[in-house]
């Protein structure tokens, strides 16, 4: 079950003020929380406008009590057609999926869905800046894996190749996110590198 936290909620107000040395990643936050908080930082500092999309819900039954707000009484989670995050950063369309794993040596492709890969591919074709943020929870390491690398690996897996991306491959083909306080996960620094590598190809 996915809860969408209210926008702008500072989830780590306590963890930031706790005593002793704070180790990056030692906050007990999920990757989603870390990204949401980073996005709130980016928005409030006018660096970028990036949001997590709401979880799509199929609504079946709604009650409209008098003098009270509507209550959804029956609904189901739906598969999203897209990635979870998108937005705009200095004229660039940003689109990414975020996944975490407790594996230590590789990242299983089964964490992704076919439609997410297809969506990233479609957005790449429109000159979007597309990637996956991968967190190795036990290693406390975060990588920005360019979408094209992920798509190529996915295609190769379909043809019988490896079903899991080795850490060594990720280390080689991604950009690692360095520790930060403001924001916690300064992934747009990496985006900037991706943009510079890609060059300007806006239509």
Q: 154 phi and psi, to 5 degrees?
A: -60, -50
Nearer to a copy of itself, 3 or 13 (CB): 3
Going by the DSSP 8-state scheme, the letter that residue 19 receives in this structure is S
Nearer to a copy of itself, 25 or 183 (CB): 183
Footprint of a copy of itself (CB under 8 A): 1, 3-4, 7, 43, 46, 48-49, 51, 53-59, 62, 69-78, 80-82, 86-93, 95, 119, 122-123, 125-128, 200-203
Is 116 labeled as ligand-binding? Answer: yes
Strands 129-136 and 92-101, how do they pair? parallel
- Closest CB 130 distance from a copy of itself, rounded Å: 9
- Closest CB 42 distance from a copy of itself, rounded Å: 10
Is 155 labeled as ligand-binding? Answer: no
**3-state SS, residue 74:** strand
- Closest CB 26 distance from a copy of itself, rounded Å: 29
- Closest CB 44 distance from a copy of itself, rounded Å: 10
Beta bridge partners of 92: 89
Nearer to a copy of itself, 10 or 15 (CB): 10
Nearer to a copy of itself, 46 or 67 (CB): 46
Residue 28's closest CA among 100, 110, 83, 86? 100
Residue 48's closest CA among 94, 79, 112, 105? 94
* Cβ–Cβ under 8 Å, residues 146 and 131: yes
Is 34 labeled as ligand-binding? Answer: no
Residue 181's closest CA among 45, 82, 4, 62? 45
Nearer to a copy of itself, 43 or 99 (CB): 43
Distance CA 146, CA 73 (A): 41
Distance CA 87, CA 74 (A): 31
- Closest CB 5 distance from a copy of itself, rounded Å: 10
Is 74 labeled as ligand-binding? Answer: no
List the binding residues for Mg(2+). 82, 84, 97, 116
């Amino acid at each position: 079950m996915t809860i969408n936290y209210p926008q702008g909620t500072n989830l780590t107000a306590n963890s930031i003020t706790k005593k002793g040395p704070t180790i990056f990643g030692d906050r007990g936050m999920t990757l989603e929380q870390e990204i949401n908080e980073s996005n709130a930082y980016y928005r409030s500092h006018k660096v970028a406008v990036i949001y997590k999309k709401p979880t799509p819900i199929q609504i079946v039954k709604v009650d409209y009590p008098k003098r009270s707000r509507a209550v959804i009484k029956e609904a189901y989670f739906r598969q999203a057609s897209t990635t979870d995050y998108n937005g705009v950063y200095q004229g660039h369309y940003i689109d990414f999926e975020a996944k975490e794993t407790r594996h230590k040596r590789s990242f299983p492709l089964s964490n992704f869905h076919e439609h997410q890969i297809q969506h990233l591919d479609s957005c790449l074709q429109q000159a979007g800046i597309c990637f996956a943020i991968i967190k190795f929870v036990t290693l406390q390491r975060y990588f920005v894996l360019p979408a094209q690398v992920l798509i190529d690996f996915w295609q190769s897996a379909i043809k019988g190749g490896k079903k899991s991306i080795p850490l060594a491959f990720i280390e080689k083909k991604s950009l690692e996110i360095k520790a930060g306080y403001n924001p916690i996960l300064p992934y747009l620094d990496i985006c900037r590198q991706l943009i510079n590598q890609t060059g300007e190809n806006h239509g």
